[in-house]
A and B are shown apart, each in its own frame.
Chain A
Amino acid sequence: MQTGTPEDDSAQEPDASVPEHEEENPDAPYIFYNDIVIEHFTNPRNVGEIDNADGFALVGDPACGDQMKLWIKVDAGYIVDIKFKSFGCPGAIATSSMATQLAMGMHIDDAKLLTDDDIVRALGGIPSNKEHCSLMGVGALQAAIRDYEQRSSIKS
């Protein structure tokens, strides 16, 4: 190894002009989808549409890689049916599926408290570069509940 000259301390001080590298996160626990994620991806739950839904949401932008439509049926404050359709990567499809599975049967007040972390945890983790996918499921759920609440406030 060569040693720097006394006036060359570049070996010690990182050069400010060196661009920051996109480093792989050493804490990232998963390099690929786990079996639960793959199972939800290959057999997504609650796929479809609901006629006469009580709440509907459309989130995401297909030009950016994912989009989700979510329908909910609400009875006495409980989500009695939920269906989705998603365009996106395996992470998007699996998190969409898990979001609907978690929300099914929940009271909307509880469903409102669901977070993207809950979805990721239920899936047993997801590769770090796919964590943003779970935001779509939660976002769609919250938006569908808001849509339901708006509709019911107009009715009453």
Chain B
Amino acid sequence: MNRPTIYFDHNATTPLCPEARNAMLPFLETAFGNPSSYHHLGRQARASLQSARRELAAVLKCSPAEVVFTSGGTEANNMALRGVAAALKDRGRHIITSAIEHHSVLKTAEALAGDGYDVTFIPVDAQGVVDPECVAEVTRADTILISVMSANNETGALQPALELGACARRHGIAFHTDAVQTFGKIPMGAVLEHADLVTLASHKIYGPVGAGALLVRRGTPLASVITGGHHEHGLRAGTENVAAIAGFAAAAQQAVSGLDTEAARIAALRDRFEERLLATIPNISINSRAAGRVPNTSNICFSGVESESVLLHLDLLGICASAGSACTTGEPEPSHVLRAMGLSSMQAQGALRFSLGRSTTAEQVDMVVGVLAGIIKKLREVSSL
């Protein structure tokens, strides 16, 4: 069976773009110096690191001094939450976040709760969106941080990062947003202006795995979580991954150039996908459809079937997608995001996420719709529900 792969899982990771690859190659070959070294190889690496930082800062319209490179989104989220918590522990111990955050925020917030911080998890509405009013209501004198993602990774639902940032600023509270799923998908200038801390990841924007960044707005209180040398403005010790960082900066430049055209192209493909699915397959529902969404993400509940069974059928046909839950122990944990939106455990069992990207074509969309129609019909014939 030699079917070409159809990749509808771009929210998980993306293939490396040629621009990123080319930017990386020198550092994988001859330019292997440590940016902290005195000699010419070190200076070369240091200069390359600085230019990558300048490039990313230009993309983000911030100062290079505000860019802290990390190993990826998870580390940047840990750095933001733990760093602010540690820096402001004498001022207050209340942290606000949402119920639909990525686990790198949720689990970190839970860990902080175990360390004596008071964490409030804000619920979302049926469309999977945080209500800024809710956040304002739970804000207290001892609130030190509000952390809400810019868009959800499972549903694509955009969060009111702007309003939240403004609210946080009014109250003198630090605002962090995990922008891993928005950066490179939609223009995000306004969000950047309203946030004190912004998490970015390279491998979601056609850069390599192993690089990410935390944008730290000047004056934001942040203790260093990883201690050691004076790397990254003293905020993140450890020899810099110059190759990955160079690839990340190149990928970021590429992602924002022509972003509007590409976002519109992908949005049209996503809409085509959803309209055709709705017309072809009965008893499906599209999650967060009434919310603003990043243009590439479609999260769909297929009633009466279990998502892993759909995934395997798709995979056998060369199609990559992903599920919110996976049955591994007999008690699968359905997606915390869909559950927070009020979906039943049963409904969440049948949810799949399709995330489109640069390689996606209308032909692929139509093929996946056709294939899905057959798979769902077949599984429903077997289903006891």
Contact of A63 among B313, B316, B344 (CB under 8 A): B344
Query: Residues of A within 8 Å of B, CB-based: how many?
Result: 29
Cβ–Cβ contact A85 & B306, under 8 A: no
Complex-state Cα separation, A62 to B385, whole angstroms: 8
**A68 in the interface (beta carbon within 8 A):** yes
**B30 in the interface (beta carbon within 8 A):** no
| Binary interface encoding of chain B residues 308-326 relative to chain A, with 1 for a CB under 8 A from any of its CBs, else 0 | 1100110010000000011
**A152 in the interface (beta carbon within 8 A):** no
Complex-state Cα separation, A89 to B382, whole angstroms: 12
A40: min CB distance to chain B, Å: 11
Contact of B384 among A41, A65, A69 (CB under 8 A): A69
Contact of B385 among A84, A87, A92, A93 (CB under 8 A): A87
Residues A129 and B329 in contact in the complex (CB < 8 Å), given A63-B344, A86-B383, A90-B308 = yes
- Residues of chain B within 8 A (CB-CB) of A132 are 329-330
Contact of A42 among B316, B344, B384 (CB under 8 A): B316
- Residues of chain B within 8 A (CB-CB) of A67 are 384-385
Closest to A64 in B: B331
Size class of the contact patch on chain B: 20 to 34
Q: Looking at A41, A63, A65, A84, which has the most chain B CB atoms within 10 Å of its CB? A: A65
Interface residues in A62-108 by Cβ distance below 8 A to B read 62-69, 84-93
- Residues of chain B within 8 A (CB-CB) of A38 are 312, 316
A147: min CB distance to chain B, Å: 16
Cβ–Cβ contact A90 & B312, under 8 A: yes
**A44 in the interface (beta carbon within 8 A):** yes
**A53 in the interface (beta carbon within 8 A):** no
Cβ–Cβ contact B306 & A89, under 8 A: yes
- Residues of chain B within 8 A (CB-CB) of A91 are 327
Closest to A47 in B: B382
Complex-state Cα separation, A132 to B327, whole angstroms: 10
- Residues of chain B within 8 A (CB-CB) of A88 are 306, 309, 327
- Residues of chain B within 8 A (CB-CB) of A62 are 346, 349, 384-385
Complex-state Cα separation, A49 to B309, whole angstroms: 21
Complex-state Cα separation, A138 to B18, whole angstroms: 53
- Residues of chain B within 8 A (CB-CB) of A89 are 306, 308-309, 326-327
| Binary interface encoding of chain A residues 2-46 relative to chain B, with 1 for a CB under 8 A from any of its CBs, else 0 | 000000000000000000000000000000010000100110100
- Residues of chain A within 8 A (CB-CB) of B346 are 62-63
Complex-state Cα separation, A38 to B311, whole angstroms: 13
Cβ–Cβ contact B331 & A87, under 8 A: no
B136: min CB distance to chain A, Å: 35
- Residues of chain A within 8 A (CB-CB) of B149 are none
A49: min CB distance to chain B, Å: 10
**B304 in the interface (beta carbon within 8 A):** yes
Cβ–Cβ contact B382 & A66, under 8 A: no
- Residues of chain B within 8 A (CB-CB) of A92 are 306, 327
Closest to A140 in B: B384
**B305 in the interface (beta carbon within 8 A):** yes
- Residues of chain B within 8 A (CB-CB) of A133 are 330
Contact of A41 among B309, B331, B349 (CB under 8 A): B309
- Residues of chain A within 8 A (CB-CB) of B332 are 64-65
**B283 in the interface (beta carbon within 8 A):** no
B264: min CB distance to chain A, Å: 37
- Residues of chain A within 8 A (CB-CB) of B261 are none
Interface residues in B261-318 by Cβ distance below 8 A to A read 304-306, 308-309, 312-313, 316
Complex-state Cα separation, A93 to B384, whole angstroms: 11
**B381 in the interface (beta carbon within 8 A):** yes
Complex-state Cα separation, A154 to B48, whole angstroms: 85
- Residues of chain B within 8 A (CB-CB) of A84 are 384
Complex-state Cα separation, A67 to B345, whole angstroms: 14
- Residues of chain B within 8 A (CB-CB) of A129 are 328-329
Cβ–Cβ contact A65 & B382, under 8 A: no
Cβ–Cβ contact A65 & B312, under 8 A: no
B376: min CB distance to chain A, Å: 13
Complex-state Cα separation, A67 to B344, whole angstroms: 16
Residues A85 and B384 in contact in the complex (CB < 8 Å), given A41-B309, A65-B349 = yes
16 contacts between A and B (CB under 8 A): A41-B309, A62-B349, A62-B385, A63-B345, A65-B349, A67-B384, A67-B385, A69-B384, A86-B382, A87-B304, A87-B306, A88-B327, A89-B326, A89-B327, A90-B308, A132-B329
By a beta-carbon cutoff of 8 Å, the part of chain A in contact with chain B is 33, 38, 41-42, 44, 47, 58, 62-69, 84-93, 129-130, 132-133
